[in-house]
Homo-oligomer: A and B are copies of this chain.
Amino acid sequence: MNLPSEDAGVGQSTYETIRTDIIFGRLAPASKLKLDDLRDTYGASVSTIREALNRLTTEELVLAEGQRGFFVAPMTAKDLIEIADLRILLECHALTLSFENGDTEWEGRIVSAHHKLHRMEQKMAANDVSVRESWKQYDWEFHQSLISACDSASLLSLHGSVFDKYLRYQMRSLTFRGDKAAREHREMLEAAMDRDSERAKTILRSHIEGGVRHCLNNPNVLPNK
């Protein structure tokens, strides 16, 4: 997850803000994005807004329908399943490469990321819902750290984009999957320290499939259809 970086130009920060607003559900799926409204909301000119929306169109977080404007990408069960399938494919592949290349620095990043994630999991378990967004942020950081030694910028970039789309579905389930996910994270940490990529991949697959089931069983996630 790339959070909005304040220091950048108007264009860049508008793009990042709209992007996170879509991912965190502050802009409803399938809703119309009127340029004039967005200009008022985000305080940038229509041209700048269009720039941001066009970029998001390429990422398929926004749909541009002919001359009829922009819409937030809708959320469907089929899309969730496709995205999860892609995340498994890309992340497992990256895991294999990363486990081969990873050095001690890499282990350090993982241990550090897991520690921070674990703290958030504890807070979530104690029903402190205020940390929901930072929890997901640290979840990203942990998964990212595991594959960070894969030595392929293209793979990392593609994975990041898929991860964020997956995250949009996760953000809609208000309940915490708790113990199970936390245990899987710990097991992946251990598998990484043992350089056992097969074990890590098995856990990751069931980790993601569990997340998908959790979403599909939760009526908050896909209210329509």
Contact = CB atoms under 8 A, between A and B. Distances in A.
A128 interface: no
Copies of chain A in the complex:
2
Interface string A149-167: 0001111011000100000
A85 B152 contact: yes
Contact of A155 (B11, B86, B152): B86
A47 interface: yes
Contact of A89 (B82, B90, B153): B90
Interface in A66-102: 67, 79, 82-83, 85-86, 89-90, 93
Contact residues on A (Cβ < 8 Å of other chain), bracket:
20 to 34
B55 A58 contact: yes
A177 B177 CA distance: 53
A82 B51 contact: no
Contact of A55 (B55, B85, B152): B55
Contacts of A157: 60
A9 B54 contact: no
7 contacts: A9-B67, A82-B152, A82-B154, A86-B155, A86-B158, A89-B93, A158-B158
